[in-house]
Chains A and B, each alone.
Chain A
């Protein structure tokens, strides 16, 4: 999936960023969770001292507090390539458990199918898996019965420090620990906005009005793109459309005639008609070319796109062909604004594209070590320092802010917009049902273009395509 590719690129570029700029932010990067004592530790390089002080810091700060009682059972961790530093870091910080960690790189989309096979053979489950809450949803039903209930294993006040943890909670049980969030924000090209004399919109109505101005005065500039399920969600979840609203474990609401759906569809039709909306996903070659030609005026995209996509794909140095007008990553082009809202709504809502978690199997033989690993992966300050992912663990968020604040790609400090967006993740959207939504929504979007009809006319297809999938999973579909 795209976010895997982007995560890969994000962390490759992260290495470059860290190497280039890590010297600058040591002093400002002290996370709030670490008390003063370790900072005063002299530059002693002895591992045992470092481990001791880290453990002391952790214990006194209340992070990574899981107790490991079983020191003989190994655990299997399923990761993807960008998560390799997590395993390496854990082994370095807890060398006493190094021999007990076995990690494999597995495509996590296979988790639901593999769980069923393991259930039937009676063995083979991994102990810890790096997977998005939507995948955890798919393995939480009675047939899969994969996750371990963490409600009583993780202290309540530690649980409270995770943002968007509701999406890891299923029927009141905590099935995963959020790793990062991928909320969507509004990116815009700051110099172009100033040059054209435009105000950055705060509502969708303002964006629609802006699209008319752009179409009239500056045709060829784009305010967004719609080409796949994710870009579809960037508009429809932001509107609160109940396209697949999980009401409870057995009921799914699919109602695309709701006014919140029609208003998003009408906005899309308006922007397609005045040619300010492009027709591919975030990584489509033609869209990347538009960005390289500096015609990307505005885009609703996830938080990781800033350092993961704008840097290196849309803005250059990048992998594609550059033109004379291609923005560079140090030109302070990228403005970030909080998510747009509809004027009639009280607050804004925004979609999230990705944002993963760590789930522990209920068949694990070593829950203590599995939990310690998951806690380390989500809470360790040294691991998260310099990361371009937005941590779900709130005490780590200042680290992220420090990383982005000084990045020369941003026109101004984006941290306030990112933090605001994190609180506005759509409740409809981030709580996924037990089946994949993106592949069916891809076909809906592509049908709209191939049949040359409006999004309003194509909306009933969402029901046609999602209803059988829901019923096959045992949901009772209500309007």
Chain B
């Protein structure tokens, strides 16, 4: 429960700001019930998050519970026989020879894409903030535009760009010795290929968010730093960067969760029209998809999906606790 004693400030997260409680008359009911007091004071907050909670229950928690149910069901007849499978689905999915491969691939991808993505986005946001003005806002718009294109379309575009025969960068690739698609897209290069695909589509939005966060900085602090003799880079590194910390953590959580769900990019690469040198199941989500739609074993797919959910939740929890993400000023 948030302490109502601190008033919101610019440093606080814009996500969930506590409302200063209005003075309520103490009725007989609220004197009897402490909980009633708490609820009354914050009922506006509960009311505001109620629509989100409803949708999360229907489209988030509900399907997760159903997946839990399916993971214990047998699908050998095509339609589910509930509670008939015991732990068989888990054994099949987790014992699959591809299990460690796909999670290994995912780990490699996360290690490359998350730090790189965040570092580049933060760098670009800081650079843009160093030179405020029309040039900066034009660039921000340009960075944002690829985000407006849907994921699969961008993937197909990158596939064309990666084919030296038809790519505008063809001469460069040929000069570097890569003369065909398979020389650029092969199992070892995939984490980098997917990082590129993901970065150029998503970076614009994150740059806009980080830049927006930076606007909340108090000007006095920056002026004081200038008076102290900070140049632009020192300002960025020692003043702005710590200020951006909550936003960076927020971005880390979301990019981590998003990248753990990697599916569209490898799935399109394995399609028969592209014929890339890519294993048919490269990412864990693809393995779950394959169990569901190639084999028809929705139970095993559910077992894998629940594992992915667990990873996402665990990662988010660890990051939040470790960085004190939801702590307010003045709280220990």
Contacts and interface: CB of A to CB of B under 8 A. Distances in A.
Interface of A: 1, 109, 112-113, 116, 119-120, 141-145, 228, 281, 285, 435-436, 438-440, 442-443, 446-447, 449-450, 464-465, 467-469, 471-474
A440 B78 contact: no
22 contacts: A1-B272, A112-B293, A113-B294, A116-B78, A119-B78, A120-B78, A120-B79, A142-B78, A143-B297, A285-B165, A439-B270, A443-B278, A443-B280, A446-B277, A447-B187, A450-B183, A450-B186, A464-B97, A468-B96, A469-B280, A472-B92, A472-B297
Contact of B78 (A145, A450, A465): A145
A116 B293 contact: yes
A446 B186 contact: yes
B170 interface: no
A435 B294 contact: yes
A466 B294 CA distance: 14
A468 B98 contact: yes
Contact of B294 (A112, A285, A447, A474): A112
Given A439-B272, A471-B97, A449 B182 contact: yes
B263 to A, nearest CB: 15
Given A438-B272, A439-B270, A442-B277, 13 more contacts: A116-B296, A119-B78, A120-B78, A143-B75, A145-B77, A145-B78, A440-B280, A446-B186, A450-B182, A450-B183, A472-B291, A472-B294, A474-B76
Contacts of B234: none
A338 B125 CA distance: 67
Interface in B219-276: 270, 272, 275
Interface of B: 75-79, 92, 96-98, 165, 182-183, 186-187, 270, 272, 275, 277-280, 290-291, 293-297, 300
Contacts of A120: 78-79
A52 to B, nearest CB: 45
Contacts of A468: 96-98
Secondary structure class of chain A's binding surface, majority of residues: helix
Contacts of A113: 293-294
Contacts of A285: 165
B96 A442 contact: no
Residue picked from B165, B183, B275, most chain A C-beta under 10 Å: B275
A450 B77 CA distance: 41
B279 A465 contact: yes
A464 B182 CA distance: 21
Contacts of B183: 450
B279 A443 contact: yes
B278 to A, nearest CB: 7
A28 B79 CA distance: 54
A446 B182 contact: yes
Contacts of A145: 77-78
A472 B296 CA distance: 10
Contacts of A1: 272
A468 B291 CA distance: 11
Contacts of A467: 97
A472 B93 CA distance: 8
Pick the most buried of B97, B183, B290: most chain A CB atoms within 10 A of its CB.
Answer: B97
A450 B294 contact: no
A1 B183 CA distance: 22
The 4 closest A-B pairs by CB, nearest first: A446-B277, A143-B296, A468-B97, A143-B78
A109, A143, A435, A438 pick with most chain B CB within 10 angstroms: A143
A380 B253 CA distance: 63
Given A113-B294, A439-B272, A450-B182, A119 B79 contact: yes
A202 to B, nearest CB: 33
Nearest to B186: A450
Nearest to B291: A472
B78 to A, nearest CB: 4
Nearest to B280: A439
Contacts of B92: 472
Contact of B76 (A142, A439, A450): A142
A440 B97 CA distance: 14
Contact of A447 (B75, B97, B277, B280): B277
B63 to A, nearest CB: 15
A143 B296 CA distance: 7
Among A142, A449, A472, max chain B CB count under 10 A is at A472
B96 A472 contact: yes
A126 B92 CA distance: 32
Nearest to A464: B97
A381 B75 CA distance: 44
B277 A471 contact: no
**Max count, chain A CB within 10 A of own CB: residue among B186, B291, B295, B296:** B296
Contacts of A116: 78, 293, 296
B275 A442 contact: yes
A442 B96 CA distance: 21
For A116, A447, A465, which residue has the most chain B Cβ atoms within 10 angstroms? A116
Given A1-B272, A120-B78, A472 B280 contact: no
